Amino acid sequence: GENVEQHPSTLSVQEGDSAVIKCTYSDSASNYFPWYKQELGKGPQLIIDIRSNVGEKKDQRIAVTLNKTAKHFSLHITETQPEDSAVYFCAVRNYGQNFVFGPGTRLSVLP
């Protein structure tokens, strides 16, 4: 089955700096890759996603890049703010299958 790894597991950055989180997956047939942000005690919130026919997608300070050949995709957050502090999960889905989530990355943005 699909195996999803996420790195780093924890990340601390200074406010205003950029943060990058990387996910790798094993199933080359996977075709949809969302990123979720989870704040303490709340459900995950979709922040950005990308499909296999696109290499990059950007939404204001957040971007996702996908390398299908290497089977990895990354979340990029620029100009980080304290409210970006949360746990971020990547997910991978092959059409017709359930989502498989990464183990999560705890991002701390230091003021």
Interface with other proteins (CB under 8 A): 32, 34, 36, 41-46, 49, 89, 93, 95-99, 101-104
Tell me how far, at minimum, the Cβ of 95 lies from other proteins, in Å: 6
Tell me how far, at minimum, the Cβ of 14 lies from other proteins, in Å: 24
Task: From residue 55, give the alpha-carbon distance in Å to each of 43, 52, 67, 76, 86.
Answer: 28, 7, 7, 13, 25
Tell me how far, at minimum, the Cβ of 87 lies from other proteins, in Å: 8
Q: CB–CB of 72/24 below 8 Å?
A: yes
CA-based nearest residue to 65, from 80, 82, 77: 77
Query: Quick one: 32 or 78, whose CB is closer to other proteins?
Result: 32
